[in-house]
Amino acid sequence: MKQKINVFWFRRDLRLEDNAGLFHALSSGLPVLPVFIFDREILDRLEVKADKRVSFIYNALVSLQEKLIHAGSFLLAEHNYPEMFFQNLVKKYSIDTVFANHDYEPYARERDKKINTLLSKNNIEFKTYKDQVIFEKDEVIKIDGGFYTVYTPYSRKWTERFNEADLKAFKSEKLLSNFIKHEPVKLPSLASMKFEETKTVPVDVTFNRSLISSYDKTRNFPAVKGTSQLGIHLRFGTISIRQLVDKARRWNQIFLKELIWREFFMQILWHQPGVINSCFKPEYNNIEWRNNEKEFEAWCRGETGYPIVDAGMRQLNATGFMHNRVRMITASFLVKHLLVDWRWGEAYFAEKLLDYELSSNNGNWQWVAGCGCDAAPYFRIFNPDTQTKKFDSEEKYIIEWVPEYKSSDYPFPIVQHQFARERCLSAYKKALSQKSPKPIQTNLFDDR
């Protein structure tokens, strides 16, 4: 007779420390088999095979595997479709419960629904827990039960709830002896999954207290290392949100507010998943975008003739990171100066950003475009030259990423600011004057 076991499924929580679902699995009284799926539904669609995010995940799993081997266990990792993986797993093991942490994005919700159905047919429970946020779903809502669509009252209620809550850590790292005992098993190689190893950010996390403490003073200046760059670690769960929020509340309130913004956008996506394809404010679906492909490609390459915009895009293309202030400037330029649909830019950032999270990426692009919840007014159009004078006055950031700046090799501006501003205002006013909004667009990128 097979030994009865439980399974913990690593997803967006690639750590052994302070891991809610893992803690519950290891406290369950049965040996725990840890698993990870290199999801073919996601990975097979990636066009770039030297993807820095895939390398980051792989390095995180290598680190996990080393710790598990030290504990006398191993990580079972496969390149597979989730349903096929679990179909095989239930044949091989006698499983009581599969544990995991919640994932809120539409694909993940649909995937988990299918896995739950599959496991139920085999009399296996599927239990998931809150881990990647402090508050989720309906935990921060209005008195009337509705969800917040404006950040400030959401933040106020979030803080109120946080001050009342007991923010406890889950000491999963103290229970590693409860993993199933097994000889080491190799991870599948990147090459076997048709990916190339590429240089990415380190998996190990350092909480830089001096940086976070001065975050409010340095965060807007791209030539200064004034942001935490912890986004990728939150995205893949190599750090605990509980640990980070605890440090933020003690070290810097402005940094804490940025973490609350993340949860604000997550609850918007949960309650209103249609924002993936459509404007939160439906009347903005009436905008007639120019969608000039050559201008979009020039923006992607960082060849618009606007140095701060080009510097940002080149930093993104080279590193997978772009400074937060410059993200707003580049996004505003694409949408407002070039009248290219915000969804084109959102998709490009999704492809390139190491710290890409659907909810934040979507929410911030809609904020810039003026069409989202709690958005900047549509007539707010960033002037790249003014932004440069304010935040890169010595042009150090520009010179770092656009070395040919001020030479004859640098292109002329793709469009004049004042002309672009007036054209944008005209297009937006025309769209908002129409009585009935256009329906959600589905095959948006087919004409790109």
> What tens digit of pLDDT does each residue of 7-40 get?
999 999 999 999 999 999 999 999 999 999 999 9
Give yes or no for a contact between 369 and 328, defined as CB atoms under 8 angstroms apart.
Answer: no
Identify the pLDDT of residue 168. 87
- What architecture is domain 1-131? 3-Layer(aba) Sandwich (3.40)
Q: Which of 285, 317, 324, 383 is catalytic?
A: 324
Q: Which of 158, 261, 367, 401 is catalytic?
A: 261
**Alpha carbon distance 156, 345 (integer Å):** 31
Q: Which of 289, 291, 395, 400 is catalytic?
A: 289
* Count of other CB atoms within 10 angstroms of residue 338: 23
Predicted TM-score of the model (pTM): 0.92
SS3 at position 263: helix
Chain centroid, CA 252 distance in Å: 22
* Count of other CB atoms within 10 angstroms of residue 268: 24
Model confidence band, residue 201 (pLDDT cutoffs 50, 70, 90):
confident
**Alpha carbon distance 259, 247 (integer Å):** 11
Strand partners, 34: 8
Q: Under CATH, which number does the domain 274-447 receive?
A: 1.10.579.10
pLDDT at 364 over 60: yes
* Domain range list for the chain: 1-131, 132-169+208-271, 274-447
The one-letter amino acid at 447: D
Q: Which of 9, 251, 344, 365 is catalytic?
A: 365
Pick the CATH number of 132-169+208-271 from 3.40.50.1110, 1.25.40.80, 3.40.140.10, 1.20.120.1770: 1.25.40.80
**Is 289 an active-site residue?**
yes
Model confidence band, residue 441 (pLDDT cutoffs 50, 70, 90):
very low
Closest residue by Cα to residue 295 from 343, 325, 335: 335
Tokens for 151, please give them: 């950040």
Identify the pLDDT of residue 1. 67
Tokens for 134, please give them: 């402090």
pLDDT at 443 over 50: no
**Alpha carbon distance 324, 301 (integer Å):** 19
**Is 261 an active-site residue?**
yes
pLDDT at 446 over 90: no
* Residue 165 burial (C-beta neighbours within 10 Å; 0-12, 13-18, 19+): exposed
**Is 303 an active-site residue?**
no
Place of tokens 């199933």: 180
What DSSP assignment string belongs to 109-152? HHHHHHHHHHHHHTT-EEEEE--S-SS-TTSS--TTSPPP-SHH
**Is 365 an active-site residue?**
yes
Average pLDDT over residues 301-328: 97
> What tens digit of pLDDT does each residue of 97-144 get?
999 999 999 999 999 999 999 999 999 999 999 999 999 999 999 999
Identify the pLDDT of residue 380. 87
Average pLDDT over residues 180-205: 90
Model confidence band, residue 438 (pLDDT cutoffs 50, 70, 90):
low
Q: Which of 258, 303, 351, 400 is catalytic?
A: 258
Average pLDDT over residues 317-340: 96
Identify the pLDDT of residue 337. 98
**Alpha carbon distance 275, 277 (integer Å):** 5
The one-letter amino acid at 31: P
∠336-340-344 over CA atoms, to 5°?
A: 125
pLDDT at 445 over 50: no
Q: Which of 9, 342, 367, 401 is catalytic?
A: 342
- Please determine whether the domains at 132-169+208-271 and 274-447 fall in the same fold group of CATH: no
Provide the 8-state DSSP code for 334.
I
Average pLDDT over residues 264-285: 93
**Is 258 an active-site residue?**
yes
Closest residue by Cα to residue 211 from 162, 236, 247: 247
> What tens digit of pLDDT does each residue of 36-88 get?
999 999 999 888 888 999 999 999 999 999 999 999 999 999 999 999 999 99
Strand partners, 36: 10, 77
> What tens digit of pLDDT does each residue of 385-437 get?
999 999 999 999 999 999 999 999 999 999 999 999 999 999 999 999 986 66
Give yes or no for a contact between 229 and 218, defined as CB atoms under 8 angstroms apart.
Answer: no
